[in-house]
Amino acid sequence: MDFVLYSTLVFAGSLVATLRLRERALYLVFFVAFTQNFVLAYLYTNGIASKDLCRSLMLFKEFLLLELFVYSVVLLYRHFQGNWPRPLQILLLFSLYCVLRFTIGALFFSDFSAEGLRKLRMLCFPVQILTVAMVTSWLHPEFGRRFLRQMTFVLGVLALAGIWLFLLPGTDFWRQHVDIATYNMDVKGDEPETVIVEEGIPGTGAGREAFQFLSSFRAMGTFADPLAFGFAMAVPILLLTFYYRWGWLNILMLVISGAAIFFTFTRSAWIFVTISFVYLLIQRRRYALMATLAVLGLGALLTWPPLSEFAAIEYADVSWTNPGGDHAEGLVWFYQKAFADPGNILGKGMDDSVRKIPENGYAFLLEHFGFFAYASFIVFCFSLFFYLRKKDAGVHSLASIAQAVPVCILIVMHTSQYPFAFSCYLYIWFMVGICIYPMINTKTTANDVRELRA
């Protein structure tokens, strides 16, 4: 009963914030996404907030984004009778199909659960943030660019905090002060095998064996999750390298953000940034610089023992006939088994037990939602890439950086469904969204636009 009461109050508060702040409510969405797991885990660990209150507060950013999405759709259709650009049309179709697939399963096959709702919310997240970013940057273009700069600075500060939390606290810091393991089990409902109870961290937070001399944990920062922390650092690194002018402050933030993403030891985030760099350097015809960076990276890999050991462990798992480890199994089994399973045509439901292929985002779509979800998301990525190339205003534009995102997504989806994770891809999708523009009805007048911008 307390949960219902608290959730009602949280929803009311988010609605008031959305109506009063409009696009400025994005500050709340981002700040909460960047700090929520750390703050709520701290409050719960120290007995300041109850389980029901924490569960309700977890919904605050979800409510805010949903309300901003509805507000953006109303602006598009009531005032302009406009259509979404082709990539967003495809993504909307993908999202509506997932809603329909979930609803049919819930109504006719008793396939309804809180976990299923969580999966559905994940898959509807990209269309929400992309639409909000598109409409915000279209009506308030100066706000979108300013917001990008401000969030880059905020993430620079959070990167510094994350490095501090990685290097300085003792081994009992998380268990004593911010027990994420207990919080994840009690509040989020995670299974015990997904956390390390004795250390108070999520399973993903355990330190890499080759880098135990640095810390027994991976860098998690205020995200309380190395995966979210790693992907959150990707956009600041790209913007500071390829978009903003190089000054002492930007270089300092770039170094800090680079160190933070390295200390997360999140391979998918490393791959995301690496592919983005390769794409952008090729786009700019900086072949010599690309070769130099490749040589430096290979040199570090061969000469620094911890990095060499880490790479050797990962390479040992790769085998087409006998893969070892979840990531290798997910990659190999997806191409060996996923399309031979007739249950994947329409999906086998929301229960985790239907998953036979681990750690693979494409398999996640196939096994839960079916082939149409998988195929439409692939089509969306290609459509988004070609749309951004068409809209590109030059190799130094923001759109040129956004072009790398769908390319990277097509690759990182082989390791998990990260593009659907709120904190992981919130900033990434926002950067892409402000490069997308709605197709406005030609009857729209300048006065209409000025009125809405007021």
Q: What is the pLDDT of residue 139?
A: 84
The per-type count for the chain, helices as H runs and strands as E runs, is: 22, 2
- Say if residues 363 and 357 touch (Cβ distance below 8 Å): yes
Q: What is the pLDDT of residue 111?
A: 85
CA 152 from centroid of its chain's CA atoms: 16
Closest to 349 measured CA to CA, from 332, 369, 363? 369
Q: Does 24 reside within a domain?
A: no
**Counting every residue, how long is the chain?**
454
> DSSP letter string over 394-416?
-TTSHHHHHTHHHHHHHHHTTT-
**Owning domain of residue 229:** 84-173+209-453
Q: Does 184 reside within a domain?
A: no
Q: What is the pLDDT of residue 371?
A: 96
- Say if residues 427 and 133 touch (Cβ distance below 8 Å): no
In sequence order, the 6+-apart residues with CB closer than 8 A to the CB of 304 are none
Q: Does 23 reside within a domain?
A: no
Distance CA(71)–CA(65), nearest Å, equals 10
Q: Does 11 reside within a domain?
A: no
Alpha carbon separation from 15 to 8, 10, 70, 436 (Å, rounded): 11, 9, 11, 26
Closest to 86 measured CA to CA, from 449, 424, 369, 389? 389
Q: Does 441 reside within a domain?
A: yes
Domains contained in the chain, number? 1
Burial 289-321 (b: 16+ CB within 10 A, else e): ebeeeeeeeeeeeeeeeebeebeeeeeebeeee
Q: Does 180 reside within a domain?
A: no
Is residue 37 classed as helix, strand or coil in its secondary structure?
helix
Q: Does 190 reside within a domain?
A: no
Distance CA(367)–CA(69), nearest Å, equals 28
Distance CA(201)–CA(174), nearest Å, equals 7
Is residue 245 classed as helix, strand or coil in its secondary structure?
coil
Q: Does 36 reside within a domain?
A: no
Helix boundaries (H) for 22-112: 25-45, 51-58, 60-74, 86-108
The secondary element (H helix, E strand) that includes residue 202 is strand 201-202
- Say if residues 36 and 58 touch (Cβ distance below 8 Å): yes
- Say if residues 362 and 375 touch (Cβ distance below 8 Å): no
Split the chain (454 residues) into runs of 10 and give each run's mean pLDDT: 88 94 94 95 93 94 96 81 83 96 90 89 96 89 90 96 88 89 92 90 87 89 95 96 92 96 94 95 91 89 83 67 75 90 92 90 95 97 93 74 95 93 95 83 46 45
Distance CA(304)–CA(135), nearest Å, equals 47
Give the pTM.
Answer: 0.93
**Beta-carbon count within 10 A of 142 CB:** 8
